[in-house]
Amino acid sequence: MAERPEDLNLPNAVITRIIKEALPDGVNISKEARSAISRAASVFVLYATSCANNFAMKGKRKTLNAGDVLSAMEEMEFQRFIAPLKESLEVYRREQKGKKEARKDKDKKADSEEQDKSREDDNDDDDERMEDEEQNDEEEVDN
């Protein structure tokens, strides 16, 4: 298991891709630089989380919400992130809403199909549903 929180690292392949896309073509990064950036990103998340948590506590909430994270960005002097983050969040919310409605339709359909067909043991569906439920528990509708 990880000894320190900073050891919880983010996938190298993704980090490398983000770096490469940010830099001009033909630029390389050394393994040490890539590794350090990855660690820096982890530290960033830890710091932002801690900062966001302060805002949640101020609001007497026990669940961090998106607004807390945006407030943390302001606090950390990364204001320039706020506009793009808000945009991403809008897209994300729309996608989640779409997925939710697709799930509802799928459940309705499954119910009506069960009445028609004879059962087959389908464990996959159950697992998928459990995962969704876990997500739903922590989902908070916030502004």
Partner 1 sequence: MAAAAAAGGTEAAAEDAGGAAPCAGSGRAARLPLSRVKALVKADPDVGLASQEAVFVLARAAELFVETIAKDAFVYAQQGKRKTLQRKDLDNAIEAVDEFAFLEGTLD
Residues 12-51 within binding reach of partner 1 (CB under 8 A) = 14-15, 17-19, 21-23, 26-30, 32-33, 36-37, 39-50
Q: How far apart are CA 70 and CA 87, in angstroms?
A: 12
Contact 103, 132 (CB under 8 A): yes
Q: Which of 90, 5, 10 is nearest to 18 (CA)?
A: 10
- Exposure string for 120-136, b = 16+ CB within 10 A, e = fewer: eeeeeeeeeeeeeeeee
Closer residue to partner 1 in complex, CB, 40/110: 40
- Smallest distance, partner 1 to C-beta of residue 26, A: 6
- Smallest distance, partner 1 to C-beta of residue 126, A: 20
The two most distant CA atoms of the chain are separated, in Å, by 60
- Smallest distance, partner 1 to C-beta of residue 121, A: 28
Closer residue to partner 1 in complex, CB, 84/119: 84
Of 80-139, binders to partner 1 (CB under 8 A) are: 81, 83-85, 87-93, 95-96, 98-99, 135, 138-139
| Among residues 63, 74, 101, 132, the one that binds partner 1 under rule CB under 8 A | 63
Residues binding partner 1: number (CB under 8 A): 71
Cβ atoms < 10 Å from Cβ of 24:
6
